[in-house]
Structure 1
């Protein structure tokens, strides 16, 4: 069965809420991951030492550096990604089962990731720079999203907002595509319908899909982050390897030369701790919010159980369901009128 029981606007709200919740809960891991990827000196001694060094140098609030930009980015990013994927899934899925083949799921997932990347990449670059800089007021360069945008444009030009976009797009092929392919495969393995599954099952599906996709895509993300933070006016004294990169290929070469092949996976442990629950929370929150909308639209008996109403068709969109209900009400009124008419005579 195709999932068309929520409107496009409701899908937008669900994806936005899912992105904000997931990013905020996993922000400490994101900060450590990014700082290790770009080579910040304070995070060069290991995962636990990185958490401690950041806390001692900048305080607890440092673990949410860049989270405002991250949440602001998540609204258009998740809207573009999920709406593109669900639109393509509706267009390409089997009319009977509503499922996608792995190849079609790969195309839909990758297309959603690429569209979302281009739409939100400037915010992604700003988020990275806000994350890497020291958050102490006496030394920080950017005070917020608007401050960073103005200074980057004035000092480096508009093209800087898309620095590193090539590895970002290429990285979405194995990551975004692989995530949704794995998720669709898990959908086929489990025999029970979606509306009968618990939130925990959706959480585990998202975690498994994200973990498998992260392994291949991570080097692209490392090179992207290094390209994002470099500039003529960057605060390079906080970086242990601050050489300017000429592009994506040079980014791979310089990273391997300076750190070894394992350097392409710098911050990988923090990335696993962040991305795996991030994806799980993302899918779980989306499904939970969506269940509320499905109940609000009149398809289910409860926003928590997702048990469908026996008399309500589950395969028509909300607008058609409202029309169907009006028709049913009119038919009942006509039937009651027909029954009472002989008695009046």
Structure 2
């Protein structure tokens, strides 16, 4: 079903709070779309952030990584682990957007005027809830993405991690993930809402406003939180590392110390380019998909 002029009028006439079910379903569809489309760039980001022991796993940039991975491992390697993201992204994004809209409504963010505190709080609450669900899937995804990964199946990877490292391995990075994701989401939602109001003050259904606002918001948030993402990747992939010091890493303090000692301050910027490149179009696509699916489901 396409959205014509009459659909836009109907969209505008609906209340801002569309209902929890609509928001959660729209969020799930948006999340799956976003992650699946941008997965190869996310894979390159993971490879660039890992402290590799083999020279063949050291990449100088996005183009270099893409060419070498495709040439030595085949193009399919760029999609290794995508099934984990698809399994987790739908439910996690459903919880994310559902929580966001519910908290924003509860704290008065849907009333007329500028309510940046409400959107920031709603974004942070949404992240805490969704990351609790998504973190294990993210660990599995990154274990499958690393250079020379032995895993080709989500379930084999999950069972091996559980058998060798226990349940805690799926959540060892959760505190770091929250330290990264709460400010990421708060910045993202705040920038998105402000830009959307600036570009579309009438509040009409505007795909262009959603795309531009979502893309810029994602890029800003990704750049600001990259240092914590580097630490998160180290924690999530440490179980597959042959480096004893990395395997002994227990939390964000140990991770940051290792990064600083081995690569200096610049180490915290590892993978920033593909991270920003991933989040700008993926966030633009996510918000466009979310607003579109929300309007479509309402219709």
- TM-score band (shorter)? 0.7 to 0.9
TM-score computed with the length of structure 1 as normaliser: 0.77
Question: Is 2:273 the partner of 1:258?
Answer: no
Aligned residues: 283
Partner of 1:212 in structure 2? Answer: 220
Select which of 111, 115, 129 maps to 1:101.
115
Residue 84 in 1 paired to residue 95 in 2?
no
Which residue matches 1:121? 135
CA distance in 2, matches of 1:56, 1:23: 24
Q: Is residue 298 of structure 2 the alignment partner of residue 289 of structure 1?
A: no
- Alpha-carbon contact 1:163-1:227 (below 8 Å) kept: yes
| The structure with more helix, counted as a fraction of residues | 2
Q: Which residue of 1 aligns with 2:25?
A: 13
Residue in 1 that maps onto 2:4? none
> What are the residue-to-residue correspondences of 1:177-196 with 2, within 5 Å?
177-196=186-205
What do the CA deviations read for 1:299-330 (whole angstroms, capped 9, x no partner)? xxxxxxxxxxxxxxxxxxxxxxxxxxxxxxxx
Structure 1's 124 and 177: CA in aligned 2 closer, same or farther, altered over 3 A? Answer: same
Which aligned segments of 4 or more residues in structure 1 are displaced greater than 6 angstroms?
Answer: none
Deviation at 1:14, TM superposition (A): 1.4
Q: Could you say if the C-alpha distance between residues 294 and 225 of structure 1 is closer, same or farther in structure 2, counting changes exceeding 3 Å?
A: same
Unaligned runs of 5+ in 2: 1-13
Q: Does 1:146 align with 2:155?
A: yes
Partner of residue 177 from structure 2, selected from 168, 174, 195: 168
For the pair 1:130 / 2:144, whether they are aligned, the reply is: yes
The 8 Å contact of residues 38 and 282 in structure 2, kept in 1 or not, is answered as yes
**3-state SS of 1:26 partner:** helix
Q: Structure 2 vs 1, CA of residues 43 and 293 (structure 1 numbering), >3 Å: closer, same or farther?
A: same
Q: Larger Rg: 1 or 2?
A: 1
Confirm or deny: 8 A CA contact 1:92 1:100 kept in the other structure: no
Could you tell me how far 1:187 is from its partner in structure 2?
3.2
Out of 280, 283, 288, the residue aligned to residue 284 of structure 2 is: 280
CA contact (8 A) 1:171 1:220 kept: yes
